[in-house]
């Protein structure tokens, strides 16, 4: 094992468990391969990435990430009503769709309700406004390849062509 620490442009592998204030586990790598990410490229919640800075393989720790360093505060202006005809016939509450803003950016949105006046969507991340409680174990740290730096993520995370 190397003493390489997590810094910008390193690839790190982590096992983690993510819980909310009520103790509910909302995500975990338990029973799966570690999550690989490219450090310093905004691939994780900012507060988690900050907590990982300087850690090496074998490090285990817990970190609490407030909303402003997680998925942001819940913004009331993120709640929108979209005409029903903008959606396919078969839709359900909880489904995710991509919505294009005035600048052409695609934003993820989740169906909250389906009413006569339209489909109520939420453009906030589902964990916006939540305090995040992570338990983390760093499994590996290595230098990123040139291709990984160019792609902005570790090798093997591209969609098959």
Indicate the domain borders of the chain.
10-71+127-151, 76-122
Angle of CA points 130, 133, 138, to nearest 5°: 135
- What integer pLDDT is reported at residue 73 of this predicted model? 96
Cα 34 to chain centroid, rounded:
15
* Residue 144 contacts residue 154 (beta carbons within 8 Å): yes
Is residue 121 within 8 A of residue 111, CB to CB? The reply is yes
Q: Determine the Cα–Cα distance for residues 105 and 116; give it in Å rounded to an integer.
A: 28
* Through-space distance between the first and last CA atoms of the chain, rounded to whole angstroms: 34
Provide the pLDDT for residue 67.
98
- At the topology level, CATH places domain 10-71+127-151 in Chitinase A; domain 3 (3.10.50)
Question: 106 near 119, Cβ under 8 Å?
Answer: no
How much is the pLDDT for 99? 86
pTM: 0.81
DSSP state for residue 86 in the 8-state scheme: G
- Same fold for the pair 10-71+127-151 and 76-122: no
Residue 161 clears pLDDT 80, i.e. is over it? no
Is the confidence at residue 159, as pLDDT, over 90? no
Residue range 76-122 forms a domain whose CATH class is mainly beta
**Side-chain-side CA neighbours of residue 81 (13 Å):** 5
pLDDT at 157: 56
Q: What is the pLDDT of residues 56-84, one digit of tens each?
A: 999 999 999 999 999 999 999 999 999 99
CB 14 within 8 A of CB 37: yes
């Amino acid at each position: 094992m190397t003493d390489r620490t997590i810094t910008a442009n390193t690839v790190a592998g982590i096992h983690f468990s993510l819980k909310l204030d009520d103790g509910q586990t909302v995500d975990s790598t338990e029973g799966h391969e570690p999550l690989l990410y490219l450090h310093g490229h905004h691939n994780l919640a900012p507060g988690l990435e900050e907590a990982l800075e300087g850690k090496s393989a074998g490090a285990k720790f817990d970190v609490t990430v407030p909303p402003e360093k997680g998925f942001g505060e819940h913004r009331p202006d993120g709640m929108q009503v979209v005409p029903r005809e903008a959606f396919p016939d078969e839709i359900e509450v909880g489904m995710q769709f991509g919505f294009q803003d005035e600048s052409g950016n695609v934003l993820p949105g989740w169906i909250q309700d389906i009413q006569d006046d339209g489909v109520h969507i939420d453009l906030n991340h589902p964990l916006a406004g939540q305090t995040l409680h992570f338990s983390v174990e760093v499994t590996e740290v290595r230098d990123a390849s040139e291709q990984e730096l160019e792609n902005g993520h570790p090798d093997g995370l591209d969609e098959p062509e």
